[in-house]
Amino acid sequence: MPAVLDPLVKIDNLTFGYSERVVLEGTSFHIPRGKVTALMGASGGGKTTLLRLIGGQIRAQAGQILFDGQDIGAMNQTALYSARRRMGMLFQFGALFADLSVFDNVAFPLREHTDLAENLIRDIVLMKLDAVGLRGARDLMPSEVSGGMARRIALARAIALDPELVMYDEPFSGLDPISLGTAAHLIRQLNDTMGLTSVFVSHELEQTFGIADHVVILANGRVATEGTPEHVRQSTDPLVYQYVHALADGPVRFHYPAPPMAQDFGIGAR
The domains located in the chain, with CATH, are 7-86+163-171+195-245 (3.40.50.300)
pLDDT of amino acid 113: 87
Strand partners for 22: 17
pLDDT of amino acid 247: 79
pLDDT of amino acid 148: 84
Can you point out the beta strands (E) in 32-124? 36-41, 62-67, 70-71, 87-90
Half-sphere exposure of 7 (CA within 13 A, CB side): 16
Residue 72, number of CB atoms within 10 A of its CB: 21
pLDDT of amino acid 4: 56
Q: How many whole angstroms separate alpha carbon 188 and alpha carbon 131?
A: 12
pLDDT of amino acid 254: 65
Convert the pLDDT of each residue in 91-116 to its tens digit. Answer: 876 788 999 999 999 999 999 888 99
Share of the chain above pLDDT 70, in %: 94
CA–chain centroid gap for 53, Å, is 12
The strand pair at 62-67 and 9-18 is best described as antiparallel
pLDDT of amino acid 1: 45
The model's pTM: 0.83
Contact predicate 167/54, CB 8 Å: yes
The strand pair at 21-31 and 9-18 is best described as antiparallel
- Low-confidence spans in the chain with pLDDT less than 50: 1-3
Q: State the chain's mean pLDDT as an integer.
A: 87
Q: How many whole angstroms separate alpha carbon 158 and alpha carbon 169?
A: 12
The strand pair at 21-31 and 165-169 is best described as unpaired
